[in-house]
Amino acid sequence: MRKKFKVSYELIMVIILIAMVFVFGGLTGGKFFKPRIMIRCTSDVAYLGVQAMAMTLIILTSGIDLSVSYQMVCSGMVCAWVYNHAAAMGPVPAALLAIVACIVSGFVFGAANGIIADKTPINPWLITMSTMYIFQAISWFFGTSFAFSAGNPIVDIGNYDIGGVVPTQLILLLIVFVIFYIVEKKTTFGRYVHAIGYNENAVNYSGISAGRLKFWVYTLGGLLSAVAALMYMGRSWQINQETGMNMNIEVIALVVLGGTSTAGGVGGVTGSLLACLIIGVLKKGLALMGLPGTVYNFIVGIVLIGSLILFAYLQKRKKLVSRRMAIENMDKQQ
Amino acid sequence: MGAAIDYSDLILKLENVNKSFPGVKALQNMQITLARGEMHAVCGENGAGKSTLMKVITGVYQADSGDMYLNGEKVVIHEPNDAYGKGIAIIFQETSLFKDLNVLENMFMGHEPVKKVAGFINNIDYAAMRKKADEIFEFLGITGQIDYDEKIDNLGVAAKQMVEIAKALTYDARVLIFDEPTAALTNKEVRALFRTIARLKEQGMSMLYISHRMEEIFEIADRVTVIRDGSYVRTAEIGHVTEQELISWMVGREMNEMYPKAEVEIGDTVLKVEHLKRGGETDGFPLKDISFEVKKGEIFGIAGLAGAGRTEMAECLVGLRKYDSGTVTLNGAQIHNKNYRDAINRGFVYVSEDRKKYGLVVPMSVEENLTMSILYRLTQNGLIDFAAEDKLVDRYMAELRVKAPDREFVVENLSGGNQQKVLVAKALCAEPKILILDEPTRGVDVGAKSEIHRIVSTLAQTGLTIIMISSDMPELLGMCDRVMVVKAGAKTGELKREEFSQEKVLKLAL
């Protein structure tokens, strides 16, 4: 086997990630090198990373889910509402009930997107743009904001550091990543998700219902939004109507930064995880340097467009290489 | 015919032209010469490289190497506009007109005459356009036959073609290329087109004419160039060549080599379809009471024109479409395939006519495509058993001699013939009992075609029941035991091998 060293997009991302740690380490006078800080900078973005895992699968099918952040807010509101109404049961049973309600509502919201994506030929941009408004309206029904106090297990777990170092937020992100990595790479489901993104017809003509697959992909999106809601509330002690603003774009940006093509087919969850870590380091590093949020936005924009240019360049190079191989292959046959 | 043509007075000459696409050498050392005032036919089988050659001449494609001379001068054409500027125009099979614009606007699209209004503001000069159009229509001898203000969408195929020709003349074309211009015309329209072509010839126009209709070539061409598998075969003057010779140059091999039909013992009836009907309201393809039966080891052909409902009928059988009424009996038991997975589990496998659209996921690997319809059979504890998958893929790649460097190779970089073999291998992975092949050799080169025919023949020998839908008449008649003819969703007849003839099939199909 000819095993040549290949420059993959993921590899470049790992190098950038390491380089960023050193750059920030230098710029902040070594403050960034503390393991506590390095590990904890993922906490701020872990809930985005979790949503990005399902979003990766959705985008791989050449779909999109704009409603993702309002699914999160809505499940969060359901969770908080249930917790407050069940407070008399004591914090642990109430939290358990609230978590179940949160997950169930996330499932229902995701399934609602999924059913429409399965049964109609409507573009997912339009489906999820419409449901985005609906989910937002539903969340208003439960409340405009909730704040949690200490003693609520959701907050206690969400802010806990295992061994005083490793945050539960990071652990949850890694667990979700491992599950989704296996699903994407090692199951028939993952194979078909990629195939749908390239050519939905051919999947249907292989005896596989592309519609049913899409249903499950969007439903997973809803489920992980609920998980993300728990993580978000656990970390920030509260949830409110403003939480969902622009967050859908942040999640999509992570997936795109991770090298998943919005045309479908190309990409994977590994890139999305790396993108999440890069954004986490960037956020923390800039904050440690005492720079304002506008600088962060500016840099994220630059990073995004830079990554897209790099990705397009690598894709083109890959195509050229494989074309050359194809022509060599023909010459050999003759 | 006009004055004798001087074949040494060349207006266009191509030498040693090469052009490769991923997986295909479309042109190899191609050459062609066109004399001034000549009508030169180019013929070859489907996929021989005729259209590619024309696209190289008109700058749609860039040749990898080779020279082109126009009026003895070496030229390089970078894009279609270059070709127009140099007086070379092509009339495509599918018209390139804007259907919402009118005739006049289409004729002058992109080079409208303008008159200055003030400063740098220009207005389209409709009067000048009409005047020029009048001249061109008179030149073509069709004055008053087409309304300048009519939208293209409202014109018939023949009229659209005339507008295309008129459009070419607005560029002062000296070389006109026709790409199978009669494919969509009625007999009467063909006569009108030929009158126009004769008039153009009288006026000294040099023309290339792509066609594989022998009678047309013999009627209107002065010379003919035959190409095969992207290579030049030879050029001959009409009158010094017979139809038989042309065909043998085009095919380049004997018929029995092309259609290797093995003797197979025909068994009992396997599949019986009775009174299959559908309204076709949702997709416009009704089926009107189709009945037939197929026996074990048989190759059962289905002939008919495009759009006759052959593909739709096949898709009804395998659950990809729904039918309203009728019964399907498999080995004596009545069945109904609700969806394609259902059908696969019963041993029905359908090989689509459009491998890029429905058959294969071309950006994915040979391996991923081969196992796509049966991947669920290759799992252990919910995870794909990659070792088992590799083994299965290696087996079928070897069996069908798929020429790819390895199983990871991306399908879109394979040649058409090899892609088709991957598609057939994908079907065989599902271990079919009834294999439905829809246009199994469309767009593949001659070598791969005969290889696929050999595979089909072998499959029939091993006891598979094969239904073959094809528009390639020699293929149907060469490979099948019986042929059913379908016309507009209804069965118009059935022929046994002893009664086969192209005329009989055509008569039933038209």
How close B95 comes to chain A (CA, Å)? 27
With beta carbons less than 8 A apart as the criterion, state whether B224 and B246 touch: yes
What are the E-state strand segments in B331-452?
A: 333-335, 348-351, 379-380, 383-384, 434-438
**Residues from chain A contacting residue B385 (CB–CB below 8 Å):** none
| Neighbour-count burial of A32, counting CB atoms closer than 10 A to its CB (0-12 exposed, 13-18 middle, 19+ buried) | buried
Mean pLDDT confidence for B293-317: 90
DSSP SS3 for B281: coil
List beta partners, residue B178.
B91, B209
Taking 90 as the threshold, does the pLDDT of residue B275 lie above it? yes
Taking 80 as the threshold, does the pLDDT of residue B105 lie above it? yes
| Neighbour-count burial of B194, counting CB atoms closer than 10 A to its CB (0-12 exposed, 13-18 middle, 19+ buried) | middle
Mean pLDDT confidence for B95-109: 87
Residue-wise pLDDT for B15-37, tens only, equals 999 988 766 678 889 999 999 99
Alpha-carbon distance A278 to A306, whole Å? 14
Chain A contact present for B375, CB below 8 A: yes
Chain A contact present for B339, CB below 8 A: yes
Q: Which two tokens stand for residue B143?
A: 């004055």
Indicate the range of A106-120, A197-211, B248-262, B393-407 predicted with least confidence: B248-262
Alpha-carbon distance A174 to A222, whole Å? 19
Confidence class for position A291, pLDDT limits 50, 70, 90: confident
Confidence class for position A3, pLDDT limits 50, 70, 90: very low
Confidence class for position B306, pLDDT limits 50, 70, 90: confident
User: Are the Cβ atoms of A202 and B20 closer than 8 angstroms?
Assistant: no
List beta partners, residue B118.
B121
> Which pLDDT value is given to residue B254?
56
User: Looking at residue B461, what DSSP letter applies?
Assistant: H
Confidence class for position A201, pLDDT limits 50, 70, 90: very high
What is the third-level CATH fold of A9-333? ABC transporter involved in vitamin B12 uptake, BtuC (1.10.3470)
Taking 60 as the threshold, does the pLDDT of residue B464 lie above it? yes
Mean pLDDT confidence for A28-44: 81
Mean pLDDT confidence for B417-439: 93
For A195, which of B364, B376, B414 is closest by C-beta distance? Answer: B364
* Residue ranges covered by each domain of chain A: 9-333
User: Are the Cβ atoms of A205 and B363 closer than 8 angstroms?
Assistant: no
User: Are the Cβ atoms of A187 and B383 closer than 8 angstroms?
Assistant: yes
Taking 90 as the threshold, does the pLDDT of residue B467 lie above it? yes
How close B63 comes to chain A (CA, Å)? 15
Give the number of beta-carbon pairs within 8 Å between A and B: 91
Taking 50 as the threshold, does the pLDDT of residue B345 lie above it? yes
Alpha-carbon distance B226 to B204, whole Å? 24
* CB contact set of B199 (below 8 Å; sequence gap of 6+): B139, B140, B141
**Residues from chain A contacting residue B408 (CB–CB below 8 Å):** none
> Which pLDDT value is given to residue B47?
65
**Residues of chain A contacting B, Cβ within 8 Å:** 182, 186-188, 191-192, 194-195, 198-199, 201-209, 265, 322-323, 325-327, 329-330, 333
> Which pLDDT value is given to residue B444?
77
Mean pLDDT confidence for B359-368: 94
Mean pLDDT confidence for B194-212: 89
Residue B279 CB neighbours (<10 A):
12
Angle between helices B157-170 and B187-202 (to 10 degrees): 20
Summary mean pLDDT of chain B:
87
Taking 70 as the threshold, does the pLDDT of residue B257 lie above it? no
Overall pTM > 0.90: no
With beta carbons less than 8 A apart as the criterion, state whether A207 and B340 touch: yes
C-alpha torsion angle, residues A155, A158, A163, A166 (rounded to 10): -160
With beta carbons less than 8 A apart as the criterion, state whether B425 and B404 touch: no
Contacts by A289-293, CB closer than 8 A, 24 or more apart = A289/A24, A289/A27, A289/A28
Residues in chain B: 510
Alpha-carbon distance A287 to A207, whole Å? 52
Which has more pLDDT, A219 or B170?
A219
For A201, which of B357, B379, B414 is closest by C-beta distance? Answer: B357
% of chain A surpassing 70 pLDDT: 96
Indicate the range of A95-99, A130-134, A258-262, B180-184 predicted with least confidence: B180-184
Residue-wise pLDDT for A65-78, tens only, equals 999 999 999 999 99
Taking 60 as the threshold, does the pLDDT of residue B367 lie above it? yes
Alpha-carbon distance B508 to B506, whole Å? 5
Domains in chain B, start-ordered, CATH in brackets?
1-87+174-252 (3.40.50.300), 95-172 (no CATH), 257-347+432-509 (3.40.50.300), 360-431 (no CATH)
Alpha-carbon distance B482 to A7, whole Å? 56
Mean pLDDT confidence for B331-347: 93
Which has more pLDDT, A298 or B211?
A298
List beta partners, residue A238.
A147
Q: Cα–Cα–Cα angle for A46, A50, A52, nearest 5°?
A: 110
Task: Provide the residue type at B381 as one letter.
Answer: N
Mean pLDDT confidence for A84-102: 92
For B340, which of A198, A205, A330 is closest by C-beta distance? Answer: A205
A329: closest chain B residue by CA: B405
Mean pLDDT confidence for B496-508: 84
Chain A contact present for B368, CB below 8 A: yes
Taking 90 as the threshold, does the pLDDT of residue B45 lie above it? no
How close A199 comes to chain B (CA, Å)? 6
List beta partners, residue B483.
B301, B495
Residue-wise pLDDT for A115-153, tens only, equals 999 999 999 999 999 999 999 999 999 988 898 888 888
Residue-wise pLDDT for B119-165, tens only, equals 788 888 888 899 999 999 988 888 888 888 889 888 888 888 889 88
**Residues from chain B contacting residue A264 (CB–CB below 8 Å):** none
Pairing mode of beta strands B299-303, B465-469? parallel
For B23, which of A191, A198, A326 is closest by C-beta distance? Answer: A326
DSSP string, A40-109: HTTTTTHHHHHHHHHHHHHHHTT---TTHHHHHHHHHHHHHHHHHHTGGG-HHHHHHHHHHHHHHHHHHH
Q: Which two tokens stand for residue B183?
A: 């494919």
Chain A contact present for B359, CB below 8 A: yes
Interface test with B, best of A178, A205, A315, A322 (most B CBs within 10 A): A205
User: Are the Cβ atoms of B341 and A205 closer than 8 angstroms?
Assistant: no
Taking 60 as the threshold, does the pLDDT of residue A89 lie above it? yes
Confidence class for position B95, pLDDT limits 50, 70, 90: low
> Within its chain, how far is the Cα of B397 from the centroid?
27
What are the E-state strand segments in B139-230?
A: 175-179, 206-210, 223-228
How close A301 comes to chain B (CA, Å)? 30
Alpha-carbon distance A94 to A80, whole Å? 10
A202: closest chain B residue by CA: B358
User: Are the Cβ atoms of A209 and B375 closer than 8 angstroms?
Assistant: no
User: Are the Cβ atoms of A326 and B382 closer than 8 angstroms?
Assistant: no
> Which pLDDT value is given to residue A318?
81
Taking 80 as the threshold, does the pLDDT of residue B184 lie above it? no
**Residues from chain A contacting residue B358 (CB–CB below 8 Å):** 201-202, 205
> Which pLDDT value is given to residue A152?
86
% of chain B surpassing 90 pLDDT: 42
CA distances from A5 to A2, A16, B146 (A): 10, 18, 64
The verdict on ipTM greater than 0.90 is: no
User: Are the Cβ atoms of B341 and A203 closer than 8 angstroms?
Assistant: no
Interface test with A, best of B352, B410, B413 (most A CBs within 10 A): B413
Chain A contact present for B382, CB below 8 A: yes
Residue B190 CB neighbours (<10 A):
16
**Residues from chain B contacting residue A326 (CB–CB below 8 Å):** 22-23, 413-414
